[in-house]
Amino acid sequence: MTNILLTGASRGIGAACVDALKSQNLVGTSSADGDLADPATPKKLWESALERLGGRIDVLVNNAGVFEAAPVDLSHDEWVAQWERTMRINLTASAELCHLAVLHFQKNGGGRIVNVASRAAYRGDSPAHWHYAASKAGMVGMTKSIARGFARENILAFAVCPGFVMTGMAEDYLASRGGDKLLADIPLGRVANPEEVASAVRYLALEAPASMTGAIIDINGASYVR
């Protein structure tokens, strides 16, 4: 049995990951366990998960995230506040959990990190979502650095980069972007479903060979091929 801490477990991709990983010892968190916008939350979440999992975590999955608009016509102060909120939840909180995980894995002979990033990391996003794209690009850079820095200690790091995934978040986005027109840009002809992302997360968390460390897996119906 593998001990797993998964953030953002209450809905969407996270809920599908809970299902895909249900045969393991999993602690799934959501905003009910602490708001990741609060700088005190990541350490508290880590410590409480560690306790619930009997003092050992083998896999960290950073999935919690927000996709909130910061239109350029906001006042500058409002725009900066939105930037900082997205960075804090999507990138800094994930980085803190990665840091705590690396320290823990160093003591325990290794472990795995799976970060849920986004196609936006590579392709960019809408004019109201620079912060989102930057937060996900940050996650990709962080994942690669951890993979390169700690592979010798059997600490493996991966990321997945979904395009559109049919969760609450994507439904709103699709509607705001004209639905079918956007689908026409996806060669597969449809958006991904959460189970497809969860199946990649499960593979990376439990099965991917060590030599794959540092891999960033695209899940986007060939809508952005790099």
Which residue in the set 4, 6, 21, 36 belongs to the binding site for ligand NAP (CB under 6 A)? 36
Nearest-approach distance from CB 47 to ligand NAP, in angstroms? 16
Shorter beta-carbon distance to ligand NAP: residue 65 or 111: 65
Which residue in the set 162, 196, 217, 221 belongs to the binding site for ligand NAP (CB under 6 A)? 162
Q: Is 116 in the site for ligand NAP (CB under 6 A)?
A: yes
Active-site annotation holds for 132 = yes
Q: Is 118 in the site for ligand NAP (CB under 6 A)?
A: yes
Q: Is 186 in the site for ligand NAP (CB under 6 A)?
A: no
Nearest-approach distance from CB 76 to ligand NAP, in angstroms? 23
Which residue in the set 3, 5, 6, 8 belongs to the binding site for ligand NAP (CB under 6 A)? 8
Nearest of 147, 123, 130, 124 to residue 216 by alpha carbon: 147
**What's the chain look like in SS3?**
CCEEEECCCCCHHHHHHHHHCCCCEEEECCHHHCCCCCCCHHHHHHHHHHHHCCCCCCEEEECCCCCCCCCCCCCHHHHHHHHHHHHHHHHHHHHHHHHHHHHHHHHHCCEEEEEECCCHHHHCCCCCCHHHHHHHHHHHHHHHHHHHHHHHHCEEEEEEEECCECCHHHHHHHHHCCCHHHHCCCCCCCCECHHHHHHHHHHHHHHCCHHHCCCEEEECCCCCCC
Residue in this structure with the two tokens 């809508």, named with its chain if needed: 223
Shorter beta-carbon distance to ligand NAP: residue 109 or 127: 127
Which residue in the set 18, 50, 53, 66 belongs to the binding site for ligand NAP (CB under 6 A)? 66
Residue type for position 180: D
Q: Is 177 in the site for ligand NAP (CB under 6 A)?
A: no
Which residue in the set 4, 5, 6, 13 belongs to the binding site for ligand NAP (CB under 6 A)? 13
Q: Is 30 in the site for ligand NAP (CB under 6 A)?
A: yes
Q: Is 40 in the site for ligand NAP (CB under 6 A)?
A: no
| Enzyme catalytic residues | 132
Residues contributing to the site for ligand NAP (CB under 6 A)? 8-14, 30-32, 35-37, 63-67, 89, 116, 118, 162, 164-165, 167-170
